[in-house]
Amino acid sequence: MAKPSAKSIDWQSRIGRRVRLRDLHILFAVAQSGSMAKAAAHLRVTQPAVSKAIGDLEVAVGARLFDRSPHGVEPTMYGQALLKSGLAAFDELRQGIRNIEHLADPTAGELRIGCQAIVAATILPPVIEHLVHRYPSMDFHVTQLISPTFEFPELRHRTIDLMLALLPGPLAGNDLGGDLRVEIVFEDRLFVAAGMQSKWARRRRIELDELVGEQWLAPPTGSWASSFIAEAFGSKGLEIPRTRVATYSVPLLHSLCATGKFIGVLGGLTLRLNGERLGIKALPIDLPRWPWPLAIVMLKNRTLSSPVNLFIEHVRAFAASMAEGNEKPTTKSRR
């Protein structure tokens, strides 16, 4: 009978028998609180128990995990590495338990979805409505993406299962990081829009130079929409219009645009799904085509539960149903 290799003996003696889930849980608590004492209070155990757990882990992995000081503790590079791997291990264990639960009912369980406000107001409601009606044992937890930087820390920290996001064109490839997988499900685009009570909403044809002096709404400088405005006017040698209201607040953009006193930039999904309800329509202007892809963003090599896979299938199906007729949403004149 072949003897186990040195590597397998090392695993059994130093890792397999010594690293416990409880110790990893304590490791996370210490890293988060920055203090052995605070971690002990949070976990409702004694400080010596916390110190022993960290000491046992350091012996098991053969490296110092925290730098100690009178002000608290900070993870070393070895501690950071173990925290990252431990987070993945806990997530895989959590997913495994969820999958075991779903063997009895594959449609039951929890989905943790991240999205931008514009996605939460357009494609997400009909998809969730359909799933809730069809699968009554499915629960949804939605986290709104606040930062416009597209770093997706929630995915990397595994607090969500996937991100449903509209990506600026340059990010539509796989430029978000080697650990992320990007699936484009819908090619949206940007339109200049106004409230249906606006004088511009009754026009059959509008030249861009006519809108230079109008009151414009847009996300702040550097956003995809503000860059679209600059490109549209700059390509025709026109002065870039002044942005009177710069905000990432989707409700504010929609509300002000609907008054008919402002001109804004909105996506085709918003205009098709919510344009009539909001009282907003696309204006008939010849504009450069700027793609605004809707993507499902996930961690590579991460186990997904049955409800998550069901959600992805329904997003794909809904996006496919929206693909036709995406060229000119809500552009009919009232005349």
Question: So what's the architecture of 106-187+293-322 in CATH?
Answer: 3-Layer(aba) Sandwich (3.40)
| CA–CA separation, 294 and 127 (whole Å) | 14
Q: What class, spelled out in words, does domain 189-290 have in CATH?
A: alpha beta
Q: Using a cut of 0.85, tell me whether the model's pTM lies above it.
A: no
Shared fold status for 106-187+293-322 and 189-290: yes
The neighbour count for residue 320, using CB atoms within 10 Å, is: 11
- In which element (H, E) is residue 69 found? strand 66-69
Cβ neighbours for 55, distance < 8 A, ≥ 6 positions apart: none
Taking residues 11-15, what's their average pLDDT?
A: 54
Between residues 335 and 280, the one the model is more confident about: 280
pLDDT in tens, 49-60: 888 888 888 888
pLDDT for residue 300 is more than 50: yes
The domain 6-87 is placed in CATH, from the list 1.10.10.10, 3.40.50.300, 3.30.565.40, 3.90.226.10, at 1.10.10.10
Residue-wise pLDDT for 33-50, tens only, equals 888 888 888 888 888 888
Contact by Cβ (8 Å): 89, 158: no
- CA dihedral of residues 64, 69, 72, 74 (deg, nearest 10): -40
pLDDT score recorded for residue 174: 53
5 pLDDT tier (thresholds 50, 70, 90): very low
Alpha-carbon gap, residue 244 to 232, rounded angstroms? 18
Average pLDDT over residues 10-23: 63
Largest CA distance in the chain: 89
Contact by Cβ (8 Å): 177, 256? no
Q: Give the pLDDT confidence of 130-177 residue by residue, as tens digits.
A: 999 999 888 999 998 765 567 788 888 888 999 999 988 766 555 677
Q: Where are the domains of the chain?
A: 6-87, 106-187+293-322, 189-290
